[in-house]
Amino acid sequence: MKRGLAIAWLLFLASVPVWLDDLYVLHVLIITGIFIIAAMSLNLLLGYTGQLSLGHVAFFGIGAYTSSLTTLGFSVHLLPDWQVSADPRPVWLGMLLGTLVAGLAGWAIGKVSFKVRGAYFVIVTVSFAEVIRLVALNWVELTQGPMALNNIPYLRLGVPGLFEISFLRKPANYYLVLAVAILSYIVIRRLVHSRAGRAMIALRENEPLAASVGVDVTRYLVLATVVSAAMAGAAGTLYAHYVRIVDPDVFLFIYTVTMVIMVVTGGKGTLAGPVVGGLIFGLLPETLRTLEIRAETQWVIYGVLMVLVVYFLPEGIVPALRNWWKGRQQSPPNALAAPAGTEAAR
Amino acid sequence: MDQFLQHALNALILGGTYALLGIGLTLIFGIMRVVNFAHGELYAFGAYMMYLWVMVLGANFYLALPLAVLLGVALGAVIELVLLRRLRGADIDTTMLVMIGAWIALQNTEQLVWSGVAKSINAPFPSSPLVLGSVSVSWNRLFVFVVALTLIAATYAVINRTKLGMAMRATFQDRDTAALMGVEIGRIHTATFALGSGLAAAAGALLGPVFVVYPTMGDLASLKAFAIVILGGLGSIPGATIGGFILAFMEELGAGYVSSGYRDAMGFLLIIVILVLKPTGLFAQKERIG
């Protein structure tokens, strides 16, 4: 039953470019997909280990910049008379490197910031993202600063002389993003159902207790950060080679906030939560735009929605729906048999 | 050497307003355990109220300043009553998410009302600076510094000398015991948030005429306030005061001797270094207040 539903979903998602001929809507779906991958990666940290990282966009941006610079090539003076240059490399290598470098950054940041918890951790992660943004803005020789990296090549895959697929057009990019999203979903699913995942959830529920039964706290938190950061980096590389222009604004705090809203609204600590939240907040702006609502009003609505979700759906949409469904399935037989008993039990 | 003296003087003057921002945030965190992401929006609100009174309604500058601060106090009280009152006792992540929501809503409301164009406020000070030997300082900045020091002193007096301050300190040390002794925690929370917000609005109202006023000005103010509070230790008022001056010095020296592009990076680097080396901050004694 569950497997059938998943296959039906996949077939539906895969068929979208076939029957959808509005390229703008397809573009919105691609961007939404990229953000869903980022939100899924944030969910691994926020939902499963319980650590609120507000610097997550840094990994997204590091992935985007690393991949773009690898494929464009660069030449910088690290010291006045010491120049380092790199020639342009193929895009698949750039995307791989972008993912790896983001994961490495996640390892370093995890090592440093998991010395602290709670409010302190949140603020360290924010600071880290801001420092990276200011470096991207000011190291003009490497990043072009506010002039942005332009003409980033698109992905081409194939065997020389035999065949080649180019990811220039939107349908191809849609399938690429879909494939990476499914891969990320599977990775997270396997991870959280493994021994490491159970350790992470134990840490979220009660860190001193988990540590007392021998869970290596820092090790599992850093592991979650590395996987999460690499995944966010992969989303960044997809973004860079699809939009084909990257500027320091990819590090803006507001994108982290968007990811957090997606995860919290959908349901943190659930596999489907970021997907549901991502679809809502990826498509909502476009719906609002057709109603001719200004961008500022849209953000005001986001802010108010966030407050309302925390008040009325603190667990998020997916757990709320699941409880509602369970309640419906269980109550009809009981409702007639022993209404008084269920009332008393409550 | 002259250049260094000038930087040091600029830092001293800027440090006063930074300290105001930091004290407000540290009070709110220490007493309410709320990480107030909307703090910078109160700073922007103070600056915009100054613009409203002086430039739009043509009020007297010295009258507009206390009005802007009082409006900040009122907005803070409203935020506490509407958003935070119901969440008392909720975990820190929940209130943080609510404050992030409030921050986004407030900032974009500002953008809707005032448009994204930066605005400047005329101040009634002579344009020629005060020259002291080899260094000089504008009269406007000097005024900002004096008012900021007065407000800091007033805050210390409220915390240490009044009955309200005693109740706030008691709530900080042990909320339940304070409640048992007859302290109305709800009212203390409202008063704390209003006071902290008022201090942020005061910083905005003071710096608005020095720099320009724009809708996203609160973002950096929030992050700088976090840097100051972490430097001083969460919940420590003297820590926040000294932290404000330290951050101002680092920014001035960073901008003067490294590169002006990295001026705003100093605060964040400071946060990272402090949290790696001494996570409790420089001055916190087990997160005490007063």
The pLDDT tens digits for B130-151 are 888 788 888 888 999 999 999 9
Q: Which residues on B lie below 8 Å from A52 (Cβ)?
A: 93, 96
pLDDT of A335 > 60? The answer is no
**Is there a domain that residue A70 lies in?**
yes
Nearest beta carbon to residue A123 from set B106, B230, B265: B230
Helix (H) or strand (E) holding B252: helix B237-257
* Residues B78, B55: Cα–Cα separation, whole Å: 26
Distances (CA, A) of A212 to A51, A114, A193, A201: 19, 18, 22, 15
Residue B247, classed as helix, strand or coil, is helix
* Residues A258, A277: Cα–Cα separation, whole Å: 10
Q: Which residues on A lie below 8 Å from B79 (Cβ)?
A: none
**Is there a domain that residue B283 lies in?**
no
**Is there a domain that residue B122 lies in?**
no
Q: Is A325 exposed, middle or buried (0-12, 13-18, 19+ CB in 10 A)?
A: exposed
The first and second tokens of residue A3, run together, are 């497997």
**Is there a domain that residue B117 lies in?**
no
Structure pTM? 0.83
* Residues B75, B200: Cα–Cα separation, whole Å: 11
Instruction: Using a pLDDT cut of 90, give the percent of chain A over it.
Output: 27
Residue A346: band (very low, low, confident or very high) from pLDDT cuts 50, 70, 90: very low
**Is there a domain that residue B15 lies in?**
yes
Residue B209, classed as helix, strand or coil, is coil
Q: Is A15 exposed, middle or buried (0-12, 13-18, 19+ CB in 10 A)?
A: exposed
Distances (CA, A) of B182 to A79, B45, B167, B175, B221: 65, 34, 9, 11, 36
* Residues A102, A226: Cα–Cα separation, whole Å: 8
Q: Is A1 exposed, middle or buried (0-12, 13-18, 19+ CB in 10 A)?
A: exposed
Residue A285: CA atoms inside 13 Å, Cβ hemisphere, count?
A: 16
The answer to whether A299 contacts B102, with C-beta atoms less than 8 Å apart, is no
Comparing A173-187, A191-205, B249-263, which segment has the lowest mean pLDDT? Answer: B249-263
Mean pLDDT over residues B88-117, rounded?
87
The answer to whether A156 touches A166, Cβ cutoff 8 Å, is yes
Q: Work out how many domains chain B is built from and give that number.
A: 1
**Is there a domain that residue A108 lies in?**
yes
Residue B287: band (very low, low, confident or very high) from pLDDT cuts 50, 70, 90: very low
Q: What does the pLDDT read at residue A158?
A: 74
Q: What does the pLDDT read at residue A331?
A: 62
DSSP states of A48-76 as a string? II----S-THHHHHHHHHHHHHHHH-EEE
Query: A 91-130 residues with CB below 8 A of B?
Result: 112-113, 115-116, 118-120, 122-124, 126-128, 130
The distance of A321 to chain B (nearest Cα, Å) reads 21
Instruction: Using a pLDDT cut of 70, give the percent of chain A over it.
Output: 95
**Is there a domain that residue B120 lies in?**
no
The answer to whether A303 contacts B103, with C-beta atoms less than 8 Å apart, is yes
A96: Cβ–Cβ under 8 A, 6 or more apart, which residues?
none
Q: What does the pLDDT read at residue B235?
A: 78
The distance of B109 to chain A (nearest Cα, Å) reads 7
**Is there a domain that residue B289 lies in?**
no
The answer to whether B112 contacts A131, with C-beta atoms less than 8 Å apart, is no
Comparing A148-157, B15-24, B41-50, B199-208, which segment has the lowest mean pLDDT? Answer: A148-157
Q: What does the pLDDT read at residue A146?
A: 82
The answer to whether B275 contacts A120, with C-beta atoms less than 8 Å apart, is yes
**pLDDT tens per residue, range A9-34:** 888 888 888 888 888 889 999 999 99
Q: Which residues on A lie below 8 Å from B111 (Cβ)?
A: 296
**Is there a domain that residue A9 lies in?**
no
Q: Work out how many domains chain A is built from and give that number.
A: 1
pLDDT of B276 > 80? The answer is no
Long-range contacts of A134-137 (CB under 8 A, 24+ apart): A134/B261, A134/B262, A134/B264, A134/B265, A134/B268, A135/B265, A136/A61, A136/A65, A136/A248, A136/A251, A137/A248, A137/B261
* Residues A116, B39: Cα–Cα separation, whole Å: 22
Q: Domain range spanning residue A239? A: 22-76+84-337
Q: Domain range spanning residue B250? A: 2-107+135-277
Looking at the DSSP bridge assignments, the partners of residue A86 are: A74
Helix (H) or strand (E) holding B131: strand B130-132
**Is there a domain that residue A125 lies in?**
yes
**pLDDT tens per residue, range A260-313:** 888 988 888 889 889 999 998 888 877 777 777 777 888 888 888 888 988 888
Q: What are phi and psi of A54, to 5 degrees?
A: -100, 20
Helix (H) or strand (E) holding A164: strand A163-166
**Is there a domain that residue A12 lies in?**
no
Mean pLDDT over residues A53-75, rounded?
90
Residue B108: CA atoms inside 13 Å, Cβ hemisphere, count?
A: 18
- The domain spanning residue B40 has which CATH number? 1.10.3470.10
Q: Which residues on A lie below 8 Å from B112 (Cβ)?
A: 294, 296-297, 300
